Chain A
């Protein structure tokens, strides 16, 4: 089993649609969770951290379920500029706390 698994893509949606990405992680000792965004041929950039109580940043909502080891990202009213690959990221457990483990990414394409 992969340490971080994401929905296979790509997701093709029209502008204005709501889209949800799912992610599961294998190690229950992980403490930090993130969603990164990677544009084509660019480096990954932090989209948002994911907190236990869930958190929202504009059109983006992230949720964490520790019991199920599940993370989600919801994008409302999607824009053309949201087209990118979304990476679910979890930190390594214990003394590997600083090490980040990346999922394979889910590609999103928003069409007019």
Chain B
């Protein structure tokens, strides 16, 4: 079946511009996650959506970052007034993660969007 898809695969933008990144999770997955991975670094958690619950935004690095999710489908991550330090690969993942569970199911990652801010 179809996996997690992300678009665009690559994005080059100028400092100060806004960018929007898109994630299509696996159908039926209630949980969706965004991560950032800078070159040579580990994954940095950004935000987590679980069903209709309020999202966990604890990882967003600044108020220039925001994300939305429509129901249990597509999510968009928006970065306003991009800075050079925003350059990274932005990874989206989805999982079945039962609501209210203290455990979690496997997260399946998309191929990422490579963002370069000039």
Contacts and interface: CB of A to CB of B under 8 A. Distances in A.
B109 A97 contact: no
B102 A101 contact: no
Given A31-B103, A93-B102, A99 B111 contact: no
Contacts of A94: 102
Size bracket, chain B contacts: 20 to 34
B23 to A, nearest CB: 12
B109 A45 contact: yes
A32 B31 CA distance: 16
Contacts of B95: 98
A49 interface: yes
A93 B12 CA distance: 37
A108 to B, nearest CB: 15
Contacts of B50: 98
A93 B102 CA distance: 7
A74 interface: no
A43 B112 contact: yes
Interface of A: 29, 31-32, 34, 42-46, 49, 87, 91, 93-105
Q: Which 5 A-B pairs have the closest CB atoms?
A: A98-B97, A43-B109, A104-B42, A97-B102, A102-B43
